[in-house]
């Protein structure tokens, strides 16, 4: 049951996660990575019964959205308990396919630190052009969620969508298997609330995904330093503390 999910306590996992920045926390191994998709109850039942992500001919004309963080999906679906009765799919795909898809992506929002486009007008024109293509991938980074559904102010999680030819390729070539984890999500919530302790919560093991540096640059995951050469205030403070410490040692 739920063969794709290896569990570990939430509080123990948190200790190993990066605190800030655009990150991809995910369940992965040497060859594959888990991505999550939310579908309607009707669609979920059909897909599970047919054991395929193919639904009908127009499947590829509609954008589907995927994410790698389990807690992000739990927040969206209220732990699989929404009135809409959505189904949550855990999809195991190849890491090579995952990284190829991201290389074809367009950011959904323009950022001043974005290296891809120097001006907002340029980005907007490229985005509109990409939407008209037969193959389209877009991505954004949203606040990472904790077990209580609160968004992080410092760390952001990947959220990406695809349609057209790339969606067909995702289903036909990159997906290894998938399973409905809605019941698992509901039982996890019940157990969590019953014990009312974060450290008791067990959910899929998440680690910081090791993207190649060039892909991090492409996605805008590497922050640009400010005019003082620092990425954030904490880094500046740490550097100042180290300088003071070295000066004290030299004086002694």
The fraction of the chain above a pLDDT of 70, given in percent, is: 79
Contact 143, 156 (CB under 8 A): yes
Return the pLDDT at 201: 81
Q: What is the pTM of this model?
A: 0.84
> Which residue carries 């995910």 as its tokens?
26
Return the pLDDT at 243: 60
Return the pLDDT at 250: 60
What is the number of residues in the chain? 252
- The DSSP element (H or E) to which 243 belongs, if any, is helix 233-251
Using the predicted structure, report yes or no on whether residue 183 has a pLDDT greater than 50. Answer: yes
Return the pLDDT at 231: 46
Contact 109, 219 (CB under 8 A): no
Integer angstrom CA distances of residue 204 from 5, 240, 242: 5, 39, 38
Partners of 202 in the β-ladder? 9
Q: How confident is the model at residue 191 (pLDDT cuts 50, 70, 90)?
A: confident
Return the pLDDT at 141: 94
Q: Please choose, from the candidates 87, 86, 36, the residue with its C-alpha nearest in 3D space to the C-alpha of residue 64.
A: 36
Return the pLDDT at 227: 42
Using the predicted structure, report yes or no on whether residue 136 has a pLDDT greater than 80. Answer: yes
Return the pLDDT at 46: 84
- Domain borders along the chain are 7-221, 225-252
Compute the average pLDDT of residues 154-178: 94
Query: What SS3 state is found at 132?
Result: coil
Q: Exposed, middle or buried, 67 (CB in 10 Å: 0-12/13-18/19+)?
A: buried
Return the pLDDT at 236: 45
Contact 7, 189 (CB under 8 A): no
Quote the longest CA-to-CA distance of the chain. Answer: 76
Tens digits of residue pLDDT in 33-78 = 999 999 999 888 888 888 888 766 566 788 899 999 999 999 999 9
Return the pLDDT at 33: 97
Q: How confident is the model at residue 29 (pLDDT cuts 50, 70, 90)?
A: very high
Q: What is the DSSP string of 24-92?
A: -EE-B-SSEEEEEEEE-HHHHHHHHHHTSS--SGGGGGS-EEEES-HHHHHHHHTTTT-TT--EEEEEE
> Which residue carries 């904490």 as its tokens?
234
Contact 91, 35 (CB under 8 A): yes
Tens digits of residue pLDDT in 194-247 = 766 555 688 899 999 999 999 998 898 876 444 444 444 444 445 555 665 665
Integer angstrom CA distances of residue 123 from 82, 135, 157: 36, 18, 21
Return the pLDDT at 100: 96
Tens digits of residue pLDDT in 77-135 = 999 998 788 999 999 999 999 999 999 998 888 776 556 677 788 888 888 887 778 78
């Amino acid at each position: 049951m739920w063969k794709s999910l290896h569990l570990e306590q939430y509080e123990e996992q948190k200790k190993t996660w990066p605190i800030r920045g655009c990150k991809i926390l995910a369940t992965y191994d040497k060859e594959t990575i888990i991505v999550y998709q939310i579908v309607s109850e009707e669609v979920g039942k059909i897909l599970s019964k047919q054991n395929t992500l193919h639904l009908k001919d127009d499947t590829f004309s509609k954008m589907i959205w995927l994410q790698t963080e389990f807690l992000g999906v739990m927040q969206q679906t209220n732990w699989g308990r929404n009135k809409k009765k959505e189904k949550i799919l855990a999809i195991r795909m190849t890491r090579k396919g995952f990284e190829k898809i991201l290389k074809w992506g367009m950011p959904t929002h323009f950022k001043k630190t974005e290296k891809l486009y120097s001006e907002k007008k340029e980005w907007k024109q490229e985005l509109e052009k990409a939407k008209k293509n037969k193959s389209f991938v877009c991505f954004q980074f949203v606040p990472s969620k904790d077990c209580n559904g609160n968004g992080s102010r410092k760390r952001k999680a990947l959220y990406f969508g695809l349609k057209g030819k790339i969606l067909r390729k995702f289903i036909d070539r990159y997906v290894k298997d998938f399973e409905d984890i809605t019941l698992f999500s509901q039982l996890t919530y019940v157990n969590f609330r019953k014990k009312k302790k974060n450290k008791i919560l067990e959910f899929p093991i998440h680690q910081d995904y090791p993207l190649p540096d060039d892909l991090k640059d492409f996605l805008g995951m590497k922050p640009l330093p400010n005019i003082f050469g620092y990425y954030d205030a904490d880094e500046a403070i740490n550097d100042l503390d180290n300088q003071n410490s070295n000066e004290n040692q030299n004086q002694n």
